[in-house]
Amino acid sequence: MLIKTLVNELRGLIASKDGDALRRFFVIGNPGLNAEVLSHLDVAEIVEILRYIDPLYGAELFAHLPAEQQRIVVDSLSRRRLILLVAAMPHDDRVDLLKRMPDEEREAILPGLAQAERDDILKLSSYAEGTAGSIMTSEYVALSAHMTVAEAIAKLRAEAPDAETIYYAYVVDENRRLRGLVSLKDLILAPSHKKVEAIMNADVIFARADEDQEEAVRKIAKYDLLALPVINGNEALVGIITHDDAMDVAHEEATEDFHKSGTVGKIEGSLKTAGAWLLYRKRVFWLVVLVFGNIFSGAGIAYFEDTIASYVALVFFLPLLIDSGGNAGSQAATLMVRALATGEVVMRDWVKMLGREVLVATGLGLTMAVAVSGLGLFRGGPEIALVVASTMVVVVVVGSLIGMSLPFALTKLKFDPATASAPLITSIADAAGVIIYFTIATAILPGLA
């Protein structure tokens, strides 16, 4: 309701072309909230607002807009206004914007920027996607260990307008090698004549520019950091990853893993704006693969035709049993994929986890066997009940072990463990369940062994 009210108010100000009132509207309020209000407007209205408000604040608002909306707004801006917008944007956000633009548009913008800005863009763009370097910003405050506290505070005050955060400042030597960290609180509380090196923390948590961005995000979460410094191969400080950027990465990675768990490839932009052809291409491969995978289930059923013909009651329990194995496997896989993603579990834990999963799955299987044995007794008699109960225990154990082990196997093979998705686990467990079920039936039921 608040957003709708603010949108209507903003549209009234645009219609009146009252520049002063528009500027006052955006002076108050959180930039994130204002950007959300902005996202509900038409592109022409957003462009009109950007004409009136302060360029620096306009760039901050623009950076908060969804990527697909940014792209549409960019297409509606003149080259001059676009250059001003890009120049005023936070360093990491403008690099992300330029990466999404076609080469010819990007090449048209870069010459209009100052040399220092072009160099910064090229440096930040040089890091491979998915690395810590690709999500860092160069907007940080660096101090010398030999500065006094008074000098450090003066430098913070001078660089604060351009810094992503001033709550942390990083202490570097003459070669920009990271030596320590000092917080704004420590600087304010320390005597003005004291040296920075006397109050800095030399034990700094950092990321390397070429390490996986997920590992950098885990460090920020684990150590509850506002920002994480990033160093290159020469141990020199090259940027920082802020907490808000880490949250964005965590959100993107979680979304990507969720899509993979449904055997859907990565979808750029949002599902709302994705085209039918894109969604078809992202979903068709694994569906076709799993169709052929399910042939093994059909082959297993065909192989045991005589068993089925002799005891038709077995067919009644087939979906129940194989689904139970697939469900148990999907549960185990979900738990293990998440544990591997968060670093709670590593490759060397596989044997320990395997032993525990056998115990847990056996308990689950026995419980489910007791639950289904009464139905087996009612539908087919004692022999069928014994087959169904025995099969339930085995398929739950086998399905759980497949679901738990597959993420480890994929990690070992350098694949994303999120690929060990529910449909894939279910298809494998289904084929195994069919063979287990009818093998047990053939061994136990009279006249079949």
Quote the CA–CA distance of 449 and 439 in Å, as a whole number.
10
Q: How many helices (H) and strands (E) does the chain have?
A: 22, 6
Sketch the domain layout of the chain as residue ranges: 2-126, 142-250, 294-444
Q: Which CATH number fits domain 294-444: 3.40.1280.10, 3.30.420.40, 1.10.357.20, 3.30.470.20?
A: 1.10.357.20
- Condensed to tens digits (0 to 9), the pLDDT of residues 200-254 reads 999 999 999 999 998 898 899 888 899 999 999 888 999 999 988 888 877 776 6
Residue 256 has what pLDDT? 62
- pLDDT per position as a tens digit, 10-43: 888 888 887 788 888 877 667 778 888 888 888 8
Largest Cα–Cα separation, the chain? 96
CATH superfamily of 2-126: MgtE N-terminal domain-like (1.25.60.10)
**pLDDT of 29:** 65
pLDDT in the model for residue 31: 73
The tens digit of pLDDT for each residue in 403-443 reads 888 888 888 887 777 665 667 787 888 888 889 988 998 88
- pTM listed for this prediction: 0.63
Tokens 């195994």, residue? 432
Between CA 186 and CA 173 the distance in angstroms is 20
In the prediction, which pLDDT does 299 show?
76
DSSP 67-96: HHHHHHHHHHS-HHHHHHHHHHS-HHHHHH
H/E element, 100: helix 91-100
Please give the CATH topology (third level) of the domain spanning 142-250: CBS-domain (3.10.580)
Sign of the dihedral through C-alpha 63, 68, 71, 77:
negative
- How far apart (Å, rounded) are the C-alpha atoms in residues 255 and 155? 40
Place of tokens 């697939």: 326
pLDDT digits (tens, 9 = 90+) for 64-81: 888 888 888 888 888 888
CA-to-CA separations, 278 to 72, 255, 419, in angstroms, rounded: 19, 17, 19
| pLDDT tens, residue by residue, 363-373 | 999 999 998 88
DSSP single-letter state for residue 29: S
pLDDT bin (cut points 50, 70, 90) of residue 286 is: low
The whole-number pLDDT of residue 245 equals 85
- Tens digit of pLDDT for each residue in 374-390? 888 888 788 888 999 99
Roughly what angle, to the nearest 10 degrees, separates helices 19-27 and 2-16? Answer: 150
